Amino acid sequence: MELDIPTPAMGKAILLDRDGIINHDPGDYTTSVDEFHILPTVLDALKQWKSAGYKLILITNQGGIAKGRYGHREVGEIHAVLQSACEAAGAPLDDIFYSPHHPDFGASLSRKPGSLMVEKALAKHRLNPDACWMFGDKARDIECALGAGVRHGVLVEPNAPLGQWASLPLGGWG
């Protein structure tokens, strides 16, 4: 006897690096809310993707924690400001994953290019990796997604306008 168990529909998501994609990357660490500046066109791009049915998930290395440059509290404050801005724009983030590790202070599977943060996002939100896109400004951002089975990655120049990608025909993306 074969059981016909329905499989829950799998969703689609836009996975985003933070520094250099969402906010201005000064070339060093963003250590506090005072240094956190959302880039122009980001909120509009997120709103377009959200309206198209994509979940919005942040995937970010925060190695400055391991280096003692800032702590989990500062990262939490920055993410609260970001989430508030996203909610006000009608594009709340569905989740945030960050790795506090840095290779100078130990190894971690969660730190990009490791795929653990993306794997957790895929499992937690029941996402179809073929219907997900990763946007990052470093090769390791794309590598972490590829390692989790996400085949679509866009390498963006640091601090470039993200809005240029939001106008692509989203219906053909997943």
Which of 4, 17, 34, 94 is catalytic? The answer is: 17
Q: Looking at the chain, list the stretches that DSSP marks H as alpha helix, in order from N- to C-terminal side.
A: 42-51, 72-88, 116-124, 139-147, 163-166
3-state SS of 58-75? Answer: EEEECCCCCCCCCCHHHH
Annotated catalytic, 34? no
130 tagged catalytic: no
Residue among 4, 19, 95, 141 flagged as catalytic: 19
Asked if residues 170 and 152 have their Cβ atoms less than 8 Å apart, the reply is no
The pair of three-digit structure tokens given for residue 13, joined into one six-digit string: 């998501």
| Whether 37 contacts 19, CB under 8 Å | no
Task: Find the radius of gyration of the CA atoms of the chain.
Answer: 16
CB-CB contact of 162 with 156 (8 Å): yes
CA-closest candidate to residue 25, choices 141, 115, 152: 141
Residues known to be catalytic: 17, 19
